Amino acid sequence: MARMVRELSGPRGTGRFGAAATDLGYPALTNHGYTITIFGDSFDERVGGPGWRSPIGLRQSNRDIERGIDWDNAIGGAYAKQMINYRHSGGPDSGKLPDGFTNIPCDLIHLPDGRFMMTTFAIKAWGPVTEGRSWETFHSRMWTSTDEHGENWVRSWDVERDHGNFDFPNAGIWRHFQNNSMILWPGEDHVYIYGTNSGRWHGGGIHLARVSWRTMWERSTYEFFGRDSSGAWGWNACGPADPIIAPTIPDGAIGELGTQVIDGTVVLSYLDGPLGAVTRAAPRPEGPWTPPRVQVSWREEPFLYAPTIHPYSSLNRAQMLLSAWPHDENGTEFYGVRQWEVSLRGVGWADLESTPARESIAGLADPRSGEPLRGELHPILDRIPLDERIAVLADCSDDGVQRDHIERVCRDGYPH
């Protein structure tokens, strides 16, 4: 059962560094052992007030996170500074180039050679203006820091082309990586990048790319995971990048996502349409994936978004950072990040072998038998009867309120 542990925003949390109002909160483990958590649009005291900047970063080292995450210091000193150099241009639905209305952080990673890499996306319009009924970005951009503790950041350059900014343009295959999250897989040189189309794209899924950490600024070295003409999954420099995970509810929208390696397992966390904040796990970066486990539903947190697991977590006892913004004509009571305790245990992919939903991957080995796997990357839950689909999802939950919520949204769709 999920349990709210602490409000991480507010005067006694992020407010200690001049950012009482802030959202997102994506934690990344550094080579030094502490974490850097990056936040989105941040304000001195209240959303829309003075001190607007994005992103900001806070460092944290306490390992007893079950009792609450505590911030040690901020990038920038006593007052958390905007980590990257750009100008907020245009309005919320009329962002202007070169940098857009605001730059929202996606993820941060610390490479083996000590270099930091961070990605952000530039907002063109916050309104639901795309064919996916979502907001729109100009691009996602990579930034880098060679400082020992990531204090100063510059744009990352595309060394193979015009030596301009290394952007993931919102076009072609790169449009699938506007919102993205990165992991280094132990024993490999690859950075795996999970991505979605801009915003919360109705009917869109999660895509996967990889690149050597040594060549992240060389575009020709990126590979994308997709099906070939025979339907088999594999890596290809030109794509395609087919969705490795789809929304659980038909025409649902997958929102902000986070990725961590926890106890040797890949853990994805994301907003899964009307289900709420969910996690899936896999034995390798490609999959195959467990069914979604609802961690926090809309009934528990009606305005949730951007779930991410803290890297100090374990599979049995994990800590999730989750944003909320209950804004309406009556004003905003809370704009910030809360810490929730969750469990990453649940029904595994092997448990679905007796159902039509049990499918797997070509080109990978079954972690139990070593035999090659074929088929899809995740359980295709809409291919099984509704009652069985509800049962599979409910088996991933240990909470009666969540089970009731799962059945309701599977039968009726969005709760609000």
| Element holding 259 (H helix, E strand) | strand 253-262
CA 391/CA 403 separation, integer angstroms: 9
Residues 87-112 pLDDT 10s: 999 999 999 999 999 999 999 999 99
Pairing of strands 233-236, 90-91: unpaired
Residue 24 pLDDT more than 90? yes
For residue 234, the cross-strand partners are 226
pLDDT at residue 62 in the model: 97
Cα 10 to Cα 401: distance, rounded to the nearest angstrom: 28
Q: Are 263 and 284 in contact (CB under 8 A)?
A: no
The string of DSSP letters for 142-193 reads: EEEE-STT----EEPB-TTTTS-B-EEESSGGGGGGSEEEEEEPTT-SEEEE
- Asked if 243 contacts 204 with a C-beta cutoff of 8 angstroms, the reply is yes
Residue 28: what are its φ and ψ, rounded to 5°? -130, 135
Q: Residue 28, SS3?
A: strand
Question: What are the CA-CA distances from residue 64 to residues 47, 155, 312 (Å)?
Answer: 30, 35, 9
Name the β-bridge partners of 147: none
375 vs 266, more confident: 266
Q: According to the model, what pLDDT value does residue 373 have? A: 53
Nearest residue to 318 (alpha-carbon basis) of 330, 309, 305:
309
Q: Which of 193, 196, 203 is nearest to 179 (CA)?
A: 196
Collapsing DSSP to helix, strand or coil, 392 comes out as: helix
Mean residue pLDDT across the chain: 90
Domains of the chain with bracketed CATH: 3-412 (2.115.10.20)
Which residues make Cβ contacts (< 8 Å) with residue 39, sequence separation at least 6?
A: 14, 19, 22, 23, 24, 25, 54, 55, 56, 57, 58, 105, 337
Long-range contacts of 73-79 (CB under 8 A, 24+ apart): 73/17, 74/17, 74/19, 75/36, 75/150, 75/151, 76/17, 76/151, 78/17, 78/18, 79/17, 79/18
pLDDT band, very low/low/confident/very high, at 363 (cuts 50, 70, 90): low
Q: Are 57 and 136 spatial neighbours (Cβ–Cβ below 8 Å)?
A: no
Is 83 or 287 the better-scoring residue by pLDDT?
Answer: 83
Least confident of 196-200, 229-233, 328-332, 354-358: 354-358
Name which of 261, 279, 121, 243 is nearest 192 in CA terms.
Answer: 261
What would the two tokens of residue 140 be? Answer: 């996602």
pLDDT digits (tens, 9 = 90+) for 295-321: 999 989 989 999 999 999 999 899 999
* Residues 102, 96: Cα–Cα separation, whole Å: 10
Ranking 66-75, 218-227, 279-288, 393-402 by mean pLDDT, the lowest is 393-402
Q: Is the pLDDT of residue 134 over 70?
A: yes
CA distances from 292 to 10, 117, 406 (A): 31, 29, 11
Region 139-157 average pLDDT: 97
Residue pair 120/105 in contact by the 8 Å Cβ criterion: yes
DSSP assignment of 208-250: EEEEEGGGTT-GGG-EEEEE-TTS-EEEETT-----SB--SST
Burial class (CB within 10 angstroms; exposed 0-12, middle 13-18, buried 19+) of 333: exposed
**pLDDT tens digits along 236-247:** 999 999 999 999
CB neighbour list of residue 413: distance below 8 Å, 6 or more residues apart: 249, 274
